[in-house]
Structure 1
Amino acid sequence: MLKSSTTLRSFSLLSLGLVLLAGCSKEDIRVAEPQNSLSSAATANSETVVRRSQHYIILSSTDQLPADLASQTQAANGTLTEQLPGAGLALATSSDPDFAAKAGRITGVRSVIHDFSYQGYNPEAARGVEAVQDADNTNPASTGDNDRFFPLQWGHTAIQAPEAWNTGARGQGALVAVLDGGFDLTHPDLKANIVGAESFVTGEKAQFVGSGFSHGTHTAGTIAAVDNNIGVVGVAPDAKLLLVKVLRDGGSGSFSWMIQGIYYAVSKQADVINMSLGAAIPRNSKFRDDNGTPNDTSDDTWVNETKEIQELLVAISKATTYATKNGVTVIASAGNDANNGQRDQDLMHIPSGATSVISISATGPLGWALNPSTTLDRVASYTNYGTSDVTFAAPGGDSEYPGNEIVTVAGVRQYAFAFDMVFSCTSLGRYSWSAGTSMAGPHAAGVAALIVGKNGGQMDPTQVRATMRASADDLGKPGRDPFYGYGRVNAYRAVTQPAN
């Protein structure tokens, strides 16, 4: 039976890929359309990155916090809410507008800055076309895997994941922390691999609420969906998942939640952190201040906080460096602003631009459903790039195919452009297509989990990075280039070829 529904093409302002809702027997698509105007991206992010006037991040001059910080913070008219020893970070609240200046005079404190909130993705849409329902969701007998939708996972083909599995490398013994929005904790393709879930989002539990697209569920599925003959399969299907909610179900969050999530993942001895999230923030711009009323924008003011934004990157870098020093390989999406970081260095991306972070750009085919032999390594139209901004590339998908042909692949009948995106899990036990560097990061995180699993767990991040570099397919210009970094990750070579 064919039935129409509304399909929307819109892209997140930041680094989160957003798209399609799909059930086992029908698909309602939301297709991402890249944001090609850098100036509009910068303007939009200046508006959506908001200073939290009563929430602060305290940065120590070292990795350790000053002694008796709680009482000294109180003396500065603030309340210490969280101490993160080893990372040299702490969180505080205060209604005193002079708190940052007062607390900044505490011996051993490098700086005191406001926390900032940001909008990760916009669940609403801008451009509509018709979607077509699934006619016959059957899995062809010739498929190389028994999971129902495995033939739609072209990304696994691109990075040679099945070949890696055939060597026995499936991620067993690796723990991947997924820092994202809410998760479907009961999804049949995820629940057997979930070993823990935690939320740092005020008023929201880790469980995704609602029937819409679940970004966190999608990324987790690409990394480690169970090989259970049901739906999709992850790059590292035997790895375990630690699901950490640092964004609201609606896509917004604060950087302090990100910091807490990183610290928590370290405390749970995660081997890999995947952050398919972030904000592209102008270094020199004005930002809104919420004046202590985050749910009421009527009295917001505009402030110029260039120094605070620069220190915000330092704060995130202290957290990511702490994670790396404690044996965690940190991976983040490069962002969807189509920004050349070498040319326009004013727009910095957090957290992919932080210290020790492996930054992932996106690749994807154009018209794959019509021509399965087409290249899977085309640079995605939206991906951020720049030689110093990209470490590796991975499949993120794209929706640039211009036609509206309806085709059938592995029994799934849908628009051809949908099949160029990444297929994974979403809310209510369902599945969806999505495109973005958010979808590329999990492919790379899955490869990292395969490497760690092969090593028996607890592998030094520098060794993981070296193995990924030695095994990546060097596409584009020889050596590190602006689009592929050191190359597109390759799962098979990563578990069969030693690092140089």
Structure 2
Amino acid sequence: MTQHFSARSFLPLLGLGLLGTFSCTKETPTPTASLNASTTQQDAQASAGFVLRAKQYIIIASGDQLPGNIEALTTAANGKVTSHLQEVGLAIATSDDPDFATKAAKISGVRSVVHDFTYQGFEPQQSRVAEQASDNVNPSSTGDSNPLFPLQWGATAIQAPEAWNTGNQGQGVLVADLDGGFELNHPDLKPNILGSMSFVPGESAQFAGGSLAFSHGTHTAGTIAAVDNNIGVIGIAPQAKLLLVKVLGDAGSGSFSWLIQGIVYATQQHADVINMSLGAAIPHHDKYIDDAGNVVNDTKAIQELLVALSKATSYATKNGVTLIAAAGNDANNGNQDKSLVNIPADATGVISISATAPIGWALAPLTANLDRFASYSNYGTPAVTFAAPGGDFAYPGNEIVIFRGVRQYVWALDMVLSTGRVLKVNGVPRAYYTWAAGTSMATPHATGVAALIIGKNGGNMDPARVEAALRASADDLGKPGRDPYYGYGRVNAYRAVAQPN
């Protein structure tokens, strides 16, 4: 399912310090500037690293809760509980006994015991196209003083500046961003970070970096709530607070048990919205490779994994948390190909987001269609609930333009610009910014709009009301009503806060 592309060159950016990575082969022109080298990142969700963890298990209750003495009962079955998620009727366990699942499944009150899996939560992919017109002009607004705001076409597409001008900027809202590591000291994020947590063993929430040029979590967090500080970019809900929860390694790989624990944690921390710019497209079959390289038959693995995840998402929605996830970047037609389950987008109560993007925006900024369906995005009914700006890499040329003070490739400017790495230059930390494309980039746009809605209504808003408000305010760009590409429509920030909800 995963399609990999060769590296595409990127132009240095006249001192703006824009950093990132990308895919899709293009010729390499000779740069005429030599300040800060930059690249771009194409995001994706795919199951390239989908591996059964032979000694790691998820114990699933038949009802709302596991037995109170589940730790002792698990020990008697030759296992050890490492995390008891009592609120959702799940436990995470380890065992060296190959018969542990069979033994533990016989415990009274246990529905099933399923192996945990690792998956690749973001990684390069492609997709498909559809067209619509849009208004590409921003009014004067609070965002204008941020130097890189003119490059954020996604804010224009969903009328975020008009929404800010009503006074609604996400005040009083807590958004949990479940992702890889985060640059916790990025100046566009730090003032809005309320807390951070990691469920990746041995790793903190801080992005470790190393050889990685792109911080996926930092990018999504910036789109949600980069602060209005006159430094770089601005988030869709610039006054919302961020709870940054690491559930994937910095390179995008993680276990489903980490994701489940992250959802429960964010709910217990009273998050209003959970953003999940991650996922895996998993085939409905009964043979998997385990982490020892063995082929394992497990006829109910995916069904039960989805049950476990849905216990966590149901717990979140019952406690007032709106859940928003990426639809995926496999260009999969969910109406025809039903061989895949997209996790977490297909879990109970989760709003799924497809991606839109212009082609050649920098060449016609006032007339370019910002709502074209992105070339990589999954689609289908009911696979997609809403659409949002996710960027694209499909522009066929390799022209360089000077656009709003930035000298850059045309194709790069069609992607989403947000917060990136913090790197030392001559020993001094310096904030960078990254272009990226994917449904992972679309999801935080929708999450930001949800935060605006919740803030307007004073917080503590029922998820069903939030979704209804998103639906009532979305621009219906495809066929009337719900369609496979845009779902109920592309989210609209201004309409979301201007109308009663």
- Range into which the TM-score falls when normalised by the shorter chain: 0.7 to 0.9
Residue 438 of structure 1 aligns to which amino acid in structure 2? Answer: S
Residue in structure 1 matched with residue 129 of structure 2 by the alignment:
none
Separation in 1 of the partners of 2:43 and 2:56? Answer: 34
Residue 441 of structure 1 aligns to which amino acid in structure 2? Answer: T
Report 1:63-462 matches (<5 A): 63-122=64-123, 145-210=144-209, 212-284=213-285, 286-291=287-292, 300-372=293-365, 373-428=367-422, 429-462=431-464
Answer whether contact 1:360 1:444 (CA < 8 A) is retained. yes
Q: Deviation at 1:6?
A: 11
Residue 218 of structure 1 aligns to which amino acid in structure 2? Answer: H
373-382 or 141-150: bigger deviation: 141-150
- Percent identity between the aligned chains? 67
Separation in 1 of the partners of 2:222 and 2:35? Answer: 19
484-493 or 61-70: bigger deviation: 61-70
Residue in structure 1 matched with residue 130 of structure 2 by the alignment:
none
Superposition CA RMSD, Å: 2.3
Using a 3 Å threshold, how does the CA distance of structure 1 residues 361 and 84 change in structure 2: closer, same or farther?
A: same
Q: Deviation at 1:415?
A: 0.5
Residue 461 of structure 2 aligns to which amino acid in structure 1? Answer: M
Separation in 1 of the partners of 2:167 and 2:303? Answer: 45
Residue in structure 2 matched with residue 52 of structure 1 by the alignment:
53
Which string of whole-angstrom CA distances, capped at 9 and with x for unpartnered residues, describes residues 323-375 of structure 1?
Answer: 00011000000000000112111111000011100000000000000111111
Q: Does the alignment pair 1:26 with 2:27?
A: no
Answer whether contact 2:142 2:165 (CA < 8 A) is retained. no
Using a 3 Å threshold, how does the CA distance of structure 1 residues 440 and 433 change in structure 2: closer, same or farther?
A: same
1:9 to 12, 23, 39: 23
Which string of whole-angstrom CA distances, capped at 9 and with x for unpartnered residues, describes residues 21-40 of structure 1?
Answer: xx9963511353989xxxxx
Where does structure 1 differ by over 4 angstroms across 4 or more consecutive aligned residues? 2-8, 141-144
Query: Any stretches of 5+ residues in structure 1 without a counterpart?
Result: 12-22, 36-40, 126-140, 292-299
Local SS of the residue matching 1:176: strand
Structure 2 length-normalised TM: 0.87
Separation in 2 of the partners of 1:147 and 1:426? Answer: 16
Q: Deviation at 1:85?
A: 1.8
Residue in structure 1 matched with residue 500 of structure 2 by the alignment:
498
Answer whether contact 1:10 1:33 (CA < 8 A) is retained. no
Answer whether contact 1:190 1:221 (CA < 8 A) is retained. yes
Separation in 2 of the partners of 1:222 and 1:3? Answer: 23
Local SS of the residue matching 2:87: coil
Answer whether contact 1:277 1:438 (CA < 8 A) is retained. yes
Separation in 2 of the partners of 1:304 and 1:52? Answer: 13
Separation in 2 of the partners of 1:421 and 1:463? Answer: 31
Q: Deviation at 1:407?
A: 0.8
Answer whether contact 1:10 1:34 (CA < 8 A) is retained. no
Residue 452 of structure 1 aligns to which amino acid in structure 2? Answer: I
Separation in 1 of the partners of 2:248 and 2:149? Answer: 29
Separation in 2 of the partners of 1:93 and 1:362? Answer: 38
Residue in structure 2 matched with residue 480 of structure 1 by the alignment:
482
Which string of whole-angstrom CA distances, capped at 9 and with x for unpartnered residues, describes residues 177-211 of structure 1?
Answer: 00000000000000000000000001111000126
Separation in 1 of the partners of 2:194 and 2:34? Answer: 26
Local SS of the residue matching 1:28: coil
Which string of whole-angstrom CA distances, capped at 9 and with x for unpartnered residues, describes residues 383-428 of structure 1?
Answer: 0011110000000000000000101222111100000000000111
Separation in 1 of the partners of 2:417 and 2:296? Answer: 41
Separation in 2 of the partners of 1:142 and 1:57? Answer: 49
Separation in 1 of the partners of 2:162 and 2:315? Answer: 34
Answer whether contact 1:193 1:238 (CA < 8 A) is retained. yes
Residue in structure 1 matched with residue 137 of structure 2 by the alignment:
none
Using a 3 Å threshold, how does the CA distance of structure 1 residues 423 and 113 change in structure 2: closer, same or farther?
A: same
Residue 441 of structure 2 aligns to which amino acid in structure 1? Answer: M
Using a 3 Å threshold, how does the CA distance of structure 1 residues 63 and 25 change in structure 2: closer, same or farther?
A: farther
Separation in 1 of the partners of 2:222 and 2:419? Answer: 5
Residue 311 of structure 1 aligns to which amino acid in structure 2? Answer: E
Which string of whole-angstrom CA distances, capped at 9 and with x for unpartnered residues, describes residues 294-334 of structure 1?
Answer: xxxxxx11123341111111111111111000110000000
Using a 3 Å threshold, how does the CA distance of structure 1 residues 8 and 490 change in structure 2: closer, same or farther?
A: closer
Separation in 1 of the partners of 2:493 and 2:43? Answer: 29
Residue 71 of structure 1 aligns to which amino acid in structure 2? Answer: A
Residue 443 of structure 1 aligns to which amino acid in structure 2? Answer: H
Answer whether contact 2:43 2:439 (CA < 8 A) is retained. no
Which string of whole-angstrom CA distances, capped at 9 and with x for unpartnered residues, describes residues 471-491 of structure 1?
Answer: 000110000000000000000
Residue 267 of structure 1 aligns to which amino acid in structure 2? Answer: Q
Separation in 2 of the partners of 1:114 and 1:33? Answer: 27
Q: Deviation at 1:48?
A: 1.7
Using a 3 Å threshold, how does the CA distance of structure 1 residues 8 and 389 change in structure 2: closer, same or farther?
A: closer
Structure 1 length-normalised TM: 0.87
Answer whether contact 2:66 2:109 (CA < 8 A) is retained. yes
Residue 205 of structure 2 aligns to which amino acid in structure 1? Answer: A
Query: Any stretches of 5+ residues in structure 2 without a counterpart?
Result: 1-10, 14-18, 26-32, 126-139, 423-430
